[in-house]
Amino acid sequence: MIDTQKIIPLTKVKRHLLDIIKEIGVEDTTITVTKNGVPVGIMMTPDRYEGLLETIEVLGNKEVVKALAASARDFKAGRVHDHADVWAE
């Protein structure tokens, strides 16, 4: 997923909504909508939104976060297995 973000004023969003929606889908862009220079909303694809919700759910689970931290420590220490080792019979 490409992580890009644009900031567009509300007046431009109103004039070019269909083009902006197409751009979001093609480029997987997140757009911050501003009114008088102040952020008032975010536009993104449903897939990106679902991904954010899943990330929040994972990070909200202390056991999963602990397991991820342990996994990162193992990786840094070189305690890893390559694909051939894992799938060898």
pLDDT tens, N- to C-terminus, the chain (89 residues): 455 589 999 999 999 999 999 999 998 889 999 999 999 999 999 999 999 999 999 999 999 999 999 999 999 999 998 888 889 86
Q: CA 46, CA 37: separation in Å to the nearest integer? A: 25
Q: How far is CA 59 from the centre of its chain?
A: 13
Domains along the chain?
A: 4-44 (3.40.1620.10), 47-87 (no CATH)
**Chain centroid to CA 67:** 21
Q: Which two tokens stand for residue 53?
A: 């919700």
Are the CB atoms for 20 and 43 separated by under 8 Å?
yes
Closest CA to 37 of 70, 58, 9, 11: 9
Is pTM, for the whole model, over 0.85?
Answer: no
Provide the residue count of the chain: 89
